[in-house]
Structure 1
Amino acid sequence: QCKGHCHGPHRPHMHSNHSAHGDKDLPGPYPLVEDPSTCDIVKATQYGMLERCRELVEAGYDVRQPDKENVTLLHWAAINNRQELVKYYISKGAIVDQLGGDLNSTPLHWAIRQGHLPMVILLLKCGADPSLIDGEGFSSIHLAVLFQHMPIVAYLISKGQNIDTTDLSGQTPLMLTAQKAMGPEPTRFLLKFNPSLSAVDNVQKNTALHWAIASGNISAVDLLLEAGASLDVKNVKGETPLDLAYQSQNHFMVYMMKEEERMRSRKNNRLLKIVEKYELFLMLASSLTFMWAIGYVMNLSSDSWLLKGGLLLCLLFGMALFVRHLVGLKNLRYLPTAFLLSSVFWMSMTWFFWFLADILYTQGLYFNLTLYTDVMGLLYYFYKTWSTDPGYIKTSEEERKENIVALAETGCLDFRTFCTSCLVRKPLRSVHCLACQACVARYDQHSLWTGQCIGVGNHCYYLLFLTFLTMTSVWLLYGTLLYWYNHCPTSYHQDGAWTYFTQVTYCSPWVSYISALACFHTVWASLWLAVQLYQIAFLGLTSHERMNLLIQRKSSKHPVSLRRTPYNLGCFQNLADFFQCRCFGMFKPNIIDWTKQYNVFHLAKEKNVHSV
């Protein structure tokens, strides 16, 4: 039976806003027949019945002959992804760029509309011309963008198609996606190939930004503004993008445009250019001043907590204004880092000016040097964590295109393993970080306190940073207790917890403030260090992988174990692999380049393991 040979013929899923002709170009549906020998050649082609098609062609059927709908056999084979039939028909003289159907499309156009990447690859290898225009005025790349088949877009560009190819009306793929493709992904994907932002169409002289605003495509407007699209280009009616935004009466879009205009005008200000150049330094200086000011307000001799609370609110408001107006979005992620370094600085100063005399008197010089060794270790490993490449996946533009072609032609261009933002094939255990806009090998997390990704390159430094931060904070807490014992006339055993707390706070509010910072850093750093060591030693997983498995465990009907993964080789072997430590020859660490590891390997003895 015909039905038994395949799943039946395809009809592309046309969208009313994509085609002015609806489904006229794509006939169907088709009735099934009981006997293969009664199938005509069109139906046999649609169902992929190679032997029946050969039989009819050998009997004299002309493969170039169109049917009553002006569609050739090659069109039907292409739209239904019948690769063997396409090869056969071309070998028998079928014209690879034959135009047919109501939309005057080539077989390549039909394959692209349906999203058949293997068929697109085959037709291009057989000489199909991707620059040909169909009856609607679209070339191959325009159709791929219109139907949002991003793998096909990537393959066409990698094979040499110009990203700024124009259709019959002069629209580029970027204009088309800004006008018709809702959602950020198509526009974001095209921007990775550096299209022209200033190109205009032939009719209305609109740029891509004009089209995005006219269509109400807010996500495309946001991405185009971020990419630097001009706000001053006028269309044939003399309208700028901002004029169109006002006409649309979309208040949010008007706000976006005016805010972008304000930000760009600020960049021309000489003073603001200097501020931007030293933005990180100013952020650190302001956070140092802010944290000192908090302690100064708390240390005021006034007993009015209402006054102190009001001053603290003013400080907070002033800092928020500074961040809003002088810190750009790019460097905003370093704000927690600035507060961390500021707190370490004031903790060190407190030790030197408040605790040093008591420590030297009771513990001696050696104990005091231990703290400063910890502080130096903390700053050194913070710097190493911050400055070391965490394992960014780096490729040149030419290598990216070669990789896309190679992956597509081997059937591996799967967007679960191919990053559409970086245009690279993602190695095992790598993740694209949205904050850093890069793929990171053996990705663990994007650290809030370092403003940097933690990956294979700096994970060890990060653990040492947490270790020294914990030790430094613990020493500060010890110094605080010693200071309270020597200088504050109160006793925990005699007065109770609440009285003791209020007495030591009034005794030295600054020391209480610093002790609160030290306590905060001790808790989060020690707990996170313990979690990190547990994941590394007993699970062999990163934080990101562990979270993924926990999510799978909640959603899966079957039990999911955190221990049974390809990366868990046992506690000691996990540690040896992570730290690349031989332990005097007791262990042999596995040396793996995670920036280039693409294939799953099972080093564990367990065969029944869970994918991560």
Structure 2
Amino acid sequence: MMEPEVDPSCNPIQPLYQQEGDNGLNRVDSAVPLQPATTDQQGQGQEDARNYGIVKAVQYGAFGRVQELVEGGYDVNEMDRENVSLLHWASINNRIDIIRYLIDKGAVVDRFGGDLNSTSLHWATRQGHLSTVVLLMSYGADPTILDGEGCRCIHLAAQFGHTAIVAYLIAKGNDVDMIDKNGMTPLMYACHRVFGYDPTRMLLTFGAAVNKTDNALGNTPLHYACLTGNTCAAKLLLDAKAEINVSNHKGQTPIDMAVAAKLPNLVKRLRQISEMRGSGKSNCLTRYTSDKDFRKRVMWTFPFIALFVVGYIPEMTAPVYMKILLALLAFGGYQICRQFFFDENIMNVIPLPLYLATKVWMYYTWIAYCLPYVNSMKLNILFTINTVLLTYNFVKAWKTDPGFIDTNREQKMKTVLDLAETQTLTLQEFCSTCLVHRPLRSKHCGLCNKCVAKMDHHCPWIDNCVGANNHKYFIGYLFFLFGMICWCLYGCKMYWNNVVPFDFYEEGITGVSYKLLKNSPWVTWIAVNAAFHFCWVGILLVCQLYQVMWLAMTTNERLNAHRYKYFHPQHEDEDKGVGHSHDDGERCKHQPKSPFNRGPLSNLIDVLDISFFGLLRPNKVDWKNLYDVPGKPENLLRRMRLNVARENYQFV
């Protein structure tokens, strides 16, 4: 007789959980994990399994012993002395083959058991066993049943942070705002107990109500986030326009709870948003400070005025006291802007207008100060060509879709179901915000709030992501921007050579600096700005070319290479004896190698997408739909389907 096949993902003699002694508790969260078996124990496993009782055989995944006892007459629905069924123990230990066998033999799927009076599906959900959840539901398990604590499966998945299971349950038709016996929603549980962005972020993407209150306390999700100091969840809720001044049954607002929890930063943030929304104390500027668009216009205008004022006040032919007075007024204006109009988005908004302002005043300086001393027509023509190409590449990098991955709701639900059935619904392959299957080399951008194909990084200087569609424009932008800066520095030097000649050897750095500032503070100020931009643009351009040509990596991949398994093929590591793991959070100690490297010249041609009469041929890749490394075997998990029926799936 052939030996029954055992689930390969589980140690056949080592269960994840077992009953704790004779008086063990049946609460799922109190089940005791066993220590890993020693080599001697593993060698004796098959022999020892013959003596297992039915419960222990199920826990340890000893399929042959389970089959022997059941065929010998054991009732699969018999409860043990702790009022727990065999299906419960198989579910908490993720024993897929045994679960199938027990149900085929008549095990009741939705039978209640244990101290929590919950079903096998509840147990599997608490432990985060997605494959078991998928299998049980394919056999008709009902995720909407209340357990002894009044929770449904979606509430358990949310409060234990099992994002993949939450996604699967919603894709199967569970209401994202389903309530438990106390009127609490999954979002409330996530904000209360999960100190991270997921699954809160995913529930919000599914459209969870941010201002719904529970029946028992009248708390909103923001109340629960403030109650426990969950700043990650609070930030997501505030971005989703959650109400700040809602009172619960005790008359407490989220701000009151944050104060009671002694969270000064969160309290400050809540009060700022309250004022911006016009709910706080009003003043003469409230009308404008509460207007998000007006604040953004102020942040956009500020760099143009600031760069002009800093250079123009010293340039003025006015008494010193007048310049000091104007400087004080300018500083006061800055303080007003900082206090009332600059918000938490300042560092994301201001780089682009700062670049544009610097560029405008550099060109003004070239025309007004430098051009009269650059008498070469050839140089002026080259400067004009560089300007046109810089403007073109900047606009294209700024406005081009970098490769955003967009799908409709039905496709998102189908993606969740497909990944769940193929056992690949993990945060490495699934974006819990966009609800899409992440293509290879893609990444979710928190600022754009979208997944980007072959994402390099989000660049605040172009207010856009750099990805598959605009990477070539970004490199062109850096190249011609570097050229423009060099032209500006050259023009300033020509101006100084003709207007205020200097000699470092004779006058020293201090003497030359004083001389230049006294003669034309404006030109000196622009030259200092140009020198600053010369440094960072030059470094960034060199880094980009190095990554593209020699490493064949994006910036994201270079910084996070240890996270991406396609840089560390497992079979190569085993052959070379490199002992490392990508699942324990530790960085690999060897140099990652890109499977996309075709040589420096070919790599550059691929990114720049250059074709030339067949001599230069870029490798065309649809990065939005690439999920496996070309030339490598397809992920085996994608072919290991759980073979569940699809007829009862509803895409909602």
TM bucket (normalised to shorter chain) is 0.7 to 0.9
SS at match of 1:265: coil
Query: In the superposition, relative to structure 1, how do residues 130 and 487 fare at CA in structure 2: closer, same or farther (>3 Å)?
Result: same
Higher relative contact order structure (alpha carbons within 8 Å, sequence separation ≥ 6): 2
Q: 1:572 to 1:278 in 2, by over 3 A?
A: same
Report SS of the residue matched to 2:50.
helix
1:546 to 555, 558, 561: 558
- Show the 5 A alignment for 1:502-513: 502-513=514-525
Aligned to 2:603: 574
- 602, 613, 622: which one aligns with 1:593: 622
Partners of 1:542 and 1:119 in 2: CA distance? 37
In the superposition, the TM-score normalised over structure 2's length comes to 0.82
Residue in 2 aligned with 1:536? 548
Change beyond 3 A, Cα 1:239–1:273: closer
Match of 2:222 among 209, 215, 232: 209
Q: Contact (CA 8 Å) 2:312, 2:522: kept in 1 or not?
A: yes
Match of 1:79 in 2: 92
Asked if 1:354 is matched to 2:383, the reply is no
- Residues in 1 aligned to 2:219 and 2:202: alpha-carbon distance in whole angstroms: 21
CA shift for structure 1 position 98: 0.8
Q: Once the 2 structures are TM-superposed, how far is the Cα of residue 29 of structure 1 from its aligned partner?
A: 7.8
Say if 2:300 is the partner of 1:288.
Answer: no
1:200 equivalenced with 2:206 (yes/no) = no
Tell me the equivalent position of 2:591.
560
DSSP 3-state at the match of 1:446: strand
- In the TM superposition, 1:438-449 aligns within 5 A as 438-449=450-461
Letter in 2 for 1:207: T
Cα distance change on mapping 1:227 and 1:507 into 2, 3 Å = same
Deviation digits for residues 55-94 of structure 1, max 9, x if unmatched? 2222222212212222222112111211111111111111
Q: What SS does the aligned partner of 2:198 have? A: helix
Q: CA deviation at 1:135?
A: 0.9
Tell me how far 1:486 sits from its aligned partner. Answer: 1.6
1:401 and 2:410 aligned: no
Structure 1 residues 557 and 257 mapped into 2: Cα distance closer, same or farther (>3 Å)?
closer
**SS of the residue 1:537 aligns to:** helix
Q: How many Å separate the matches in 2 of 1:37 and 1:13?
A: 19
Offset of 1:340 from its aligned partner?
Answer: 1.3
Matched, 1:44 2:66: no
Residue type at the aligned position of 2:522: W
2:183 is matched with which residue? 170
* 2-structure distance, mates of 1:539, 1:88: 50
- The letter for the 1-side match of 2:307 is M
Deviation at 1:599, TM superposition (A): 0.3
Distance 1:48 1:22 in 2: 19
Partners of 2:289 and 2:341 within 8 A in 1: no
Residues 88/556 of structure 1: CA separation in 2 closer, same or farther (3 Å cut): closer
For 1:290 and 1:163, the matched residues in 2 are separated by 48
Cα contact 1:382–1:450 (8 A) shared by 2: yes
What is residue 330 of structure 2 aligned with on the other side? Answer: 315
**Most deviating of 312-321 and 29-38:** 29-38
Q: Choose which of 105, 118, 126 in structure 1 pairs with 2:139.
A: 126
User: CA-to-partner distance for each residue in 1:6-50, whole Å, 9 max, x for gaps?
Assistant: 242233999xxxxxx884886668999964333222222222222
Whether the 8 Å contact between 2:125 and 2:156 is mirrored in structure 1 is yes
Q: Give the secondary-structure state (helix, strand or coil) at the position aligned to 1:164.
A: coil
Is residue 2:350 matched to residue 1:335?
A: yes
User: Structure 1 CA distance, aligned partners of 2:249 and 2:421?
Assistant: 43
C-alpha deviation, 1:569, in angstroms:
0.7
* Separation (CA, whole Å) in 1 of partners of 2:267 and 2:52: 60
Report the more deviating stretch, 506-515 or 218-227.
Answer: 218-227
- 1:210 CA displacement: 2.6
Structure 2: runs of 5 or more not aligned? 1-5, 36-40, 569-579, 581-585, 633-652
1:236 aligns with 2:249: yes
Query: What is the Cα deviation at residue 558 of structure 1?
Result: 4.5
Amino acid corresponding to residue 560 of structure 1 in structure 2: Q
Corresponding residue of 2:424: 412
The residue that corresponds to 1:9 in the other structure is 15
Task: Kindly tell me the number of residue pairs found equivalent between the two proteins.
Answer: 590
- The alignment status of 1:59 with 2:65, answered yes or no, reads no
Q: How far does residue 274 in structure 1 lie from its aligned partner after superposition? A: 9.8
Percentage of pairs with the same residue: 38
User: Deviations for 1:516-538, whole angstroms, at most 9, x for unmatched residues?
Assistant: 22222233223322222222222
Instruction: Give the whole-Å Cα distance in 2 for the aligned partners of 1:115 and 1:590.
Output: 41
Q: How big is the shift at 1:302? A: 7.0
Q: 1:107 to 1:348 in 2, by over 3 A?
A: same
- Alignment-mate amino acid for residue 92 of structure 2: I
Mark the runs of 5 or more structure 1 residues left unpaired by the alignment: 15-20, 604-612
Please tell me whether the aligned partners of residues 25 and 102 of structure 1 are also in contact (alpha carbons under 8 angstroms).
Answer: no
Change (3 A) 1:217 1:544: closer
1:157 aligned residue:
170
C-alpha distance 250-349 of structure 1, shift in aligned 2 (>3 A) = closer
Deviation larger for 255-264 or 245-254: 245-254
- Give the aligned partner of residue 101 of structure 2: 88
Q: Secondary structure at the match of 1:347?
A: helix
From 262, 269, 277, give the equivalent of 2:293. 277
Deviation at 1:96, TM superposition (A): 0.7
The CA deviation at 1:497 is 5.0
**What does the per-residue CA deviation read over 1:456-509, in whole Å, with 9 as the maximum and x for residues that have no partner?**
111111111112212222222222222112222545565455434432332212
- Work out whether residues 16 and 34 of structure 2, in 8 Å CA contact, stay in contact via their aligned partners in 1: no
Q: Trace 1:257-276 onto structure 2 (pairs within 5 A).
A: 257-265=270-278, 271-272=287-288, 276=292
Aligned to 1:609: none
Q: What is the TM-score of this pair, normalised by structure 1? A: 0.87
Match of 1:116 in 2: 129
C-alpha distance in structure 2 between counterparts of 1:355 and 1:77, whole Å: 80
Counterpart residue type for residue 521 of structure 2 = P
2:373 partner amino acid: D
Give the 3-state SS of the residue equivalent to 2:406 in structure 1.
Answer: coil
Contact 1:13 1:114 in 2 (8 A): no
